[in-house]
Amino acid sequence: MASASNCIPYSSSFSSNKSPLSDNRRKNPTVKFTCKAKNNEQRPETTSKNGGNSPVKLDRRDVLVGIGGLYRTSLAVNSMNLAKPALPDFKDCIEARQPNGTPINCCPPAIDKIEDYVPSATTIRTRMAAQSFTVDSDYYKKYSTAIQKMKNLSLTDPRNFLQQANVHCAYCDGGYTQKGNPNLLYEIHYSWLFFPWHRWFLYFFEKICQNLIDDDTFALPFWNWDAPEGMQIPPMYNSVVTSPLYDFLRNPDHLPPSVINLEWCNGDTTVPPNDQIKYNLAIMYTQMITQSKTQTDFFGSPYRAGDDITTLSGAGQIEQTPHNHVHSWTGTTVDPSNPINMGVFYSAARDPIFYAHHANIDRIWTIWLNQLKGTNITDVDWLTAYFIFYNEEAKPVRVRIQDCLDPTKLGYTYEDVPIPWLDASAKPKPRAKGKTLPSAPDPAQVFPVILDKTINVIVKRPKKSGSGSPEEILVIEGIEYDKRSYVKFNVYINEDDVNACRPDNTEFLGSFSNLPHGHRMNVKANKKFRISEVLEELGARDYDKVLVTLVPKSSPVQINGIKIEFHS
Ligand code: C2O
DSSP 6-53: GG-TTGGG--SSS-GGGGS--S-GGG-------TTSS---EE-TTSSE
Q: What is the mean pLDDT of the chain?
A: 84
Q: Is 189 in the pocket of ligand 1 (CB under 6 A)?
A: yes
Query: Does the annotation flag 189 for ligand binding?
Result: yes
- What pLDDT score does 556 carry? 87
pLDDT tens, 131-153?
Answer: 999 999 999 999 999 999 999 99
In the structure, what pLDDT confidence band is assigned to residue 468 with cuts at 50, 70 and 90? Answer: confident
Residues 260, 333: Cα–Cα separation, whole Å? 15
Contacts of 373 (CB under 8 A, 6+ apart): 8, 11, 14
Domains defined for the chain, CATH in brackets: 4-11+428-567 (2.60.120), 18-423 (1.10.1280.10)
Distance CA 525, CA 300 (A): 12
Q: Which of these ranges, 71-75, 154-158, 159-163, 294-298, has the smallest mean pLDDT? A: 71-75
Is-contact 402 420, C-beta < 8 A? no
Report d(CA 218, CA 145) in Å as an integer: 12
Does residue 168 have a known ligand-binding role? yes
Confidence at residue 432, expressed as pLDDT on a 0 to 100 scale? 63
**Cα–Cα distance, 142 to 148 (Å, whole number):** 10
Does residue 353's CB lie within 6 angstroms of at least one atom of ligand 1? Answer: no
Ligand 1 contact, 527 CB (< 6 A): no
Does the pLDDT at position 516 exceed 90?
A: no
Q: How far apart are CA 517 and CA 244, in angstroms?
A: 26
Distance between Cα 345 and ligand 1 center (Å): 6
Distance of CA 39 from the midpoint of ligand 1 (Å): 25
* Burial environment of residue 98 by CB neighbours within 10 A (0 to 12, 13 to 18, 19 or more): buried
Share of the chain above pLDDT 70, in %: 84
For position 105, what pLDDT does the model report? 87
Residue 32: the pLDDT is 26
551: nearest Cα among 489, 503, 477, 459 = 489
Coil, strand or helix: which one is 168?
A: helix
CB 400, CB 383: distance < 8 Å: yes
Q: In whole angstroms, give the CA distance from residue 75 to residue 62.
A: 11
Catalytic residue among 327, 357, 517, 519: 327
**Atom nearest to 357 CA in ligand 1:** 2
Q: Average pLDDT, stretch 225-252?
A: 96
Atom 3 of ligand 1: nearest residue by CA position: 345
* Residue 506 vs residues 3, 291, 299, 427, 498: alpha-carbon distances, Å: 22, 12, 23, 5, 12
Would residue 544 be called left, alpha or beta, if left means φ above 0 and alpha means ψ between -120 and 50 degrees?
A: alpha
Q: Is the pLDDT of residue 52 over 70?
A: no
Query: Is residue 322 predicted with pLDDT exceeding 80?
Result: yes
Q: Which residues pair with 487 in a beta bridge?
A: 514
Residue 401 has pLDDT above 90, yes or no: yes
For residue range 287-300, what is the model confidence (pLDDT) as tens digits?
999 999 999 999 99
What is the SS3 assignment for 376?
Answer: coil
Entry pTM = 0.86
Residue 96 pLDDT = 77
**Distance in angstroms (rounded) separating the CA atoms of residues 55 and 419:** 34
358 is in an annotated binding site: yes
Does residue 363 surpass a pLDDT of 50?
yes
Distance 322 CA to ligand 1 centre (A): 11
**Selected catalytic residue, list 358, 389, 489, 529:** 358
Residue 11, pLDDT above cutoff 60:
no
Calculate mean pLDDT across residues 542-549: 94
Ligand 1 center from residue 551 Cα (angstroms): 25
Q: Which of 90, 161, 168, 298 is catalytic?
A: 168
Query: Does the structure show a pLDDT above 70 at 196?
Result: yes
End-to-end CA distance of the chain: 32
For the question of residue 567 being annotated catalytic, the response is no
Give 430's DSSP letter.
Answer: P
CA contacts within 13 A on the Cβ side of 85: 27
- Is residue 254 flagged as an active site residue? no
User: Which pLDDT does position 123 carry in this prediction?
Assistant: 94
- pLDDT for position 45: 27
Q: Omega before 448 cis (within 30°)? A: yes
User: pLDDT of 271-289, one tens digit each?
Assistant: 999 999 999 999 999 999 9
519 is in an annotated binding site: no
- The question of whether 345 is a catalytic residue gets the answer yes
For the ranges 43-47, 223-227, 365-369, 423-427, the lowest mean pLDDT is seen at 43-47
Q: How confident is the model at residue 336 (pLDDT cuts 50, 70, 90)?
A: low
Residue of 198, 254, 325, 517 with catalytic role = 198
Cβ contact 404:462 at 8 Å: no
What is the whole-number distance in angstroms between the Cα of residue 352 and the centre of ligand 1? 13
357 part of the active site? no
Quick check: CB of 356 below 6 Å from ligand 1? no
Q: Which of 299, 345, 489, 529 is catalytic?
A: 345
CB 172 less than 6 A from any atom of ligand 1: yes
pLDDT at 213: 98
Indicate whether 445 pLDDT > 60: yes
Is 323 labeled as catalytic in the residue annotation?
yes
Q: Do residues 236 and 135 touch, judged by C-beta distance below 8 A?
A: yes
Q: Which residues fall within 8 angstroms of residue 237, CB to CB, at 6 or more apart? A: 130, 243, 245, 246, 247, 352, 353, 356
CB of 323 shorter than 6 A to ligand 1: yes
Query: Percent of the chain at pLDDT above 90?
Result: 67
Tell me, what's the pLDDT at 139? 98
Q: Is 348 in the pocket of ligand 1 (CB under 6 A)?
A: yes
Residues 451, 556: Cα–Cα separation, whole Å? 5
CA distance 442 to 458: 5
pLDDT band with cut points at 50, 70 and 90 for residue 22: very low
Query: Residue 264 pLDDT > 90, yes or no?
Result: yes
**pLDDT band per the 50, 70, 90 thresholds, residue 433:** low
Phi–psi pair at 473, nearest 5 degrees: -125, 130
517 labelled catalytic: no
**CA 383 to each of CA 73, 84, 193, 403, 481: distance values in angstroms, whole numbers, following the listed order:** 20, 11, 10, 8, 31
Evaluate: CB of 304 within 6 angstroms of ligand 1.
no
CB 377 within 8 A of CB 299: yes
Other Cβ atoms less than 10 A from the Cβ of 134: the count is 12
User: CA 141 to CA 135: how far, in whole Å?
Assistant: 7
**What's the CA-to-centroid distance between 329 and ligand 1, angstroms?**
13
323 belongs to an annotated ligand binding site: yes
3-state helix, strand, coil in the chain (%, to 5): 30, 20, 50
Ligand 1 midpoint to CA 550 (Å) = 26
Lowest mean pLDDT among 205-214, 338-347, 469-478: 338-347
567 labeled part of a ligand binding site: no
Task: Write the pLDDT tens digit of every residue in 55-114.
Answer: 333 333 333 222 322 222 223 333 444 679 999 988 778 877 777 777 888 888 777 789
State which amino acid sits at residue 235.
P
pLDDT average, residue stretch 443-448:
97
pLDDT at 44: 28
What's the rounded Cα separation, in Å, for the pair 286 and 278? 12
User: Is there an atom of ligand 1 within 6 Å of 327 CB?
Assistant: yes
